[in-house]
Every structure is written in C-alpha cells, then in structure tokens.
Amino acid sequence: MKQSIAEHLLKTFPDEERDLKWEQIRLLGEYRVVEAFPRLLALLESERDEVTQFHIAQAISKLGSGWTAAEEERLLNWMLATQKGWFAQFDGKGVEFPAFLQSVLADLGKHHRTSLLHHLAQVELSSLLGSVAIDLVAGSPAPQDNLLVLYRNTDKPAARVKIISALKTVPNKDVSAFLREEYRRSSEPKLSGAILQSLAAQPVESDNLPLLLEGLRHQETEVVGACAGAVVQYRPELDESLANALLSRLAERRSLFLAMDNALVTLSGVQRPGFRPQPEPGERLEESTRTAAVDFWKHWYEQRFQKKFTPTLSTPGAEQSDEEIYKFILNAESKGGNAIRGAKVYETAQCNTCHGGGVTPGVEGRIFGPDLSGVTRRLSRAELAEAMVYPSRQVADRFKAFGIELKDSTLLTGFITEQNDDTVTLADREQVHRIPRSGIRSITPQSTSLMPERLLNRLSLEEIRDLLAFLEEGTHAAPGVSREGK
C-alpha cells in the first residue's frame, strides 16, 4: 500500500498548482518516501517562495535516508543559509514559526549530524541552527571538551548562554569548577543566570553551595527556583539569613511559591498545614493559599528567631493590587509616559524574553508569546488592561499551553508545535523538546496562561506609564528614536 502511494506521488510530483504541490510535499514526508529526496532537494534549491521552502524542508526532515554525499552537502548549504535573511527574521510570522523552524532544523540535524558538525565553523551559534548544533555537540562523545572549545571561541552573549545551558547535561566536577570560575567573571545577568541554572544541575559539591545561595537573589525567577531546588539537596542549616531569603522570595513572587515553600518545609522540618509538594497539572495557585502560607512562615520565622520578619531581598515599596493597576491603566493618568524609559522597563520586567523586541542588542529574546508590535492598536484599553493584569482570564487557543509529565517525573510546560504517533514536540521559553511518546506519562492542557501573574505589581505607576508608552511606540524601537511623552 505504502509503495503504491509513493509511486503515485512520485509520478505526478511536482504539480504546477501550488496547493496541490504543497500537499504532495507533505505526503512525501509523511509517508517517508526516501526516493523523493533528490527531487525534493532540487525543488528546495530552485524554489523562491520561502514558505514553500519551509514545507519542502519539513518533508525532507522526515527522511532518514535516500541521499548521496553530494546531495547532503547541498542540503547543508541550505541549512546554513537559514541563518540569514527571511528564515532568520521572525517578525510578523506568528508565535509558532521559530519553534516550527527549529523543530525542522533539529530533525535535519539528527539525520545529518556528522555533516552538520563538520560544518560547525560556519554555524552562527546564536541562531536557531546554532541551538541545534550545540545540542548535537552536547550529545556527542567528549561533550565537555567540545562545548568548552565552542564557548571560548565565541564572544557573543546569546551563543555563550546557549552553550552554558547545554552544560546542564554534562554533570561532573570539572564542569562545576568551570561554571564557578565563569560565574565569578561574568557581569551579564542573563549569562550569570544560565551559569547558576547549569550549576544547579551538577552533582552535590560543597564549593557550589555559596553560589547557589547567592542565586536566590537573582532577578530571574527561573534561576531562583533552580537554585532553591539545588540548595535543598545540600541540606544546609536553615539559619536566619537563609530563612529570610527563602521567605522574602516566597512573599515577593507567586511564580516562586512552590520552590520556596518546598525549600522551607524540607530545611525546617516543619510540615505546614495544607502543604502539597506538587500541585496537580494545570492547577491554579489561589491567592488565599499563598497568603496563608506566607502568614504561616512569617509566624514560624518570628517564633524561631525571636524577631519580626523584615524581607531582605524584596525590592523597595509594597506591591500594588491587581485592581489598582487595572484601574490605573484605564485611567487617563496612564497616558503620556516616556517610551525611552519604557523600553528599559520592558527589558527589566523581562517582557522581551517571551515577546521579543527590546532595545539592547543581544538581549532581544525570541517570540515565545504573542508579538506585541501594534498591540495598543489591536486591543482596546480595557482589553489591554485585562491582558496585562489578568493574563489567565482569556487565553486564545493558539496560546494555550500543555504540561507534559515524563516517566522520570520531569515536568515540561509549553506549546505543542507538532505531534505524531512516535513523538511530541513541545516549545518552551528556552528550547524545543522532541519527546518520545514512550517516555511520556501524561499530557495535560493548562488552565492558566504562561505569562506570569502580578508581573506589574512591583512596578511604580510611573514605570507602568512608561511601559505603556513604549508599547504604543512599538517594541522594536531603538533608544533615542522613540518619541518621548509630554
């Protein structure tokens, strides 16, 4: 049956009608018609429409054989070309495009691993293809030595962050020592955060603990959570300084609640009423639950250390309520901000890590959530206020996330970009995961948005006003070009 389908497809391929040609391309990939490789490759090289090129590459990525050495070299030339031009420009292509493209490149890299690594010198490590190449290096023999060579041979911050992140999969004392040394040298918060996250994945070693404790002060919540999880493995004494740090972060950020609560329970040996080490997938943290936990630990702190709890890590000023911020955005007082200052707020609040844009070269992030270009024209003021303050009230179908629990108890959360009988492809903020179905315990739709709640609550009204001005200008404006509000 499959052979008959393949013969029929090859007999008429490629059709002159575009939609029919696309369907032929798709079916040649789905049915793994390896005999089609030379013709698909020739079409890929001659096709001028980039969208059609993408579909052809997607079909080729499903073929595990069928090429000559010369044809593989030609395919690698196309892959290298994706590092520039249309394939490297994501604006206006939709939130899924970077994840889809990286998924295709990852499949191509899997089938053409040796050839891609042979061309490693031509790979821009900060590109999507660079991410694929780094993952291949991490999965190769002697990954530690090869990754460190790549790291030392590049000075691009984005590439260095990717390489450091790949060291999570290389647990040994030499890697730990390298990470400690790089952390002491680094002055870039994003790189420092990646170092701490990789250090948190290393085996328990006493020299790592001081840095992991320092990581509890990092500005990125994912870094703080990773460090807290690692600190628990060391079972340090829960002295006043550590207890204050954990409780400060617990009270400060909803997104850190689980990690900090777990750390406090484990290190104190106190079983908090209502404590659950792991919520159900998709379960929403109720504010009443969080408030009760914060109150419990404050009381415990005051009993344990005989002094009133005063947070040492929280930023100055009390959080504003959701209602106060919502009303402010609707009010005329929220208009007239300074877009140049707002660009800095946009980056400080880490909006760029999921929505792209920003103004600082090298830290633009990638579009993981909705592209915010023109958002103030697409949404009414009330819709904008609700989206920013209450992100989980209405989540568009295309941005509904899934939680995947693996059989080794690992939890992943992100967007499912592709799935078939064998694998599920999930894109999260950091990377694209291709997960064998045999390793999945459960897949659960998430009821909440991946956008953190209470993201604006620690900003001043002036900062929120400036942020709104920046969104009105567009999220890709350069410093000094944006119009200042009057």
Report residue 172: phi and psi, to 5°: -165, 170
- The pLDDT tens digits for 77-102 are 999 999 999 999 887 666 578 888 99
Question: Regarding beta strands 423-427 and 432-436, do their DSSP bridges make them parallel or antiparallel, or are they unpaired?
Answer: antiparallel
What are the tokens at 207? 């020299």
Q: How confident is the model at residue 346 (pLDDT cuts 50, 70, 90)?
A: confident
Residue 99: CB atoms within 10 Å: 25
The chain-wide mean pLDDT, for the chain, equals: 86
Q: If one looks up domain 2-82+90-231 in CATH, what number appears?
A: 1.25.10.10
Helix, strand and coil in the chain, % to nearest 5: 55, 5, 35
Going by pLDDT thresholds of 50, 70 and 90, the confidence category of residue 7 is confident
pLDDT at residue 461, rounded to an integer: 84
**Counts for the chain of helices (H) and strands (E), in that order:** 23, 5
Q: Is the dihedral of CA 291, 294, 300, 305 positive or negative?
A: negative
User: In the chain, pLDDT over 90 holds for what percent of residues?
Assistant: 48
Residues β-bridged to residue 405: 411, 442
The fold adopted by the segment(s) 401-445 is SH3 type barrels. (2.30.30)
What is the mean predicted confidence (pLDDT) over 413-420?
83
Domain boundaries defined on the chain: 2-82+90-231, 237-314, 322-394+452-473, 401-445
Of the listed ranges 212-216, 236-240, 317-321, 482-486, the least confidently predicted one is 482-486
Span 360-380, average pLDDT: 65
The two structure tokens encoding residue 306? 């005989």
Looking up tokens 């007999």 gives 11
The whole-number pLDDT of residue 480 equals 38
Residue 442 C-beta-side C-alpha neighbours within 13 Å:
10
**Cα 148 to the chain's mean position, in Å?**
23
Residue 291: which of 280, 299, 283, 303 has the closest Cα?
299
DSSP character at residue 469: H
Distance of alpha carbon 353 from alpha carbon 334, whole angstroms: 24
The listed CATH number (3.30.70, 1.10.760, 1.20.1260, 3.40.50) that belongs to domain 322-394+452-473 = 1.10.760
Residues 20 and 24: their CA atoms lie apart, in Å, by: 6
Model pLDDT, residue 306: 96
| pLDDT at residue 314 in the model | 52
pLDDT digits (tens, 9 = 90+) for 231-248: 999 999 999 999 999 999
Q: What is the pLDDT of residues 292-336, one digit of tens each?
A: 999 999 999 999 999 999 887 754 445 677 888 888 898 888 888
Percent of the chain past pLDDT 70, that is, above it, reads: 89
Structure tokens at 239: 């002295």
pLDDT at 65: 95
Confidence of residue 367 (pLDDT cuts 50, 70, 90): low
Question: Sheet containing 423-427: which strands, arranged edge to edge?
Answer: 432-436, 423-427, 411-419, 402-406, 440-445
What pLDDT was estimated at residue 231? 97
| Stretch among 10-19, 78-87, 409-418 having the lowest mean pLDDT | 409-418
Q: Where are the beta strands (DSSP E) in 100-224?
A: none
Whether pLDDT at 165 is above 60: yes
Q: What is the dihedral of CA 376, 379, 382, 388, to 10 degrees?
A: -70
Place of tokens 């410093």: 479
Tens digit of pLDDT for each residue in 391-400?
877 777 667 7
Please say if the pLDDT value at position 365 is more than 60.
no
The answer to whether 446 and 316 are in contact (CB under 8 A) is no
Q: What does the pLDDT read at residue 279?
A: 74
pLDDT of residue 484: 40
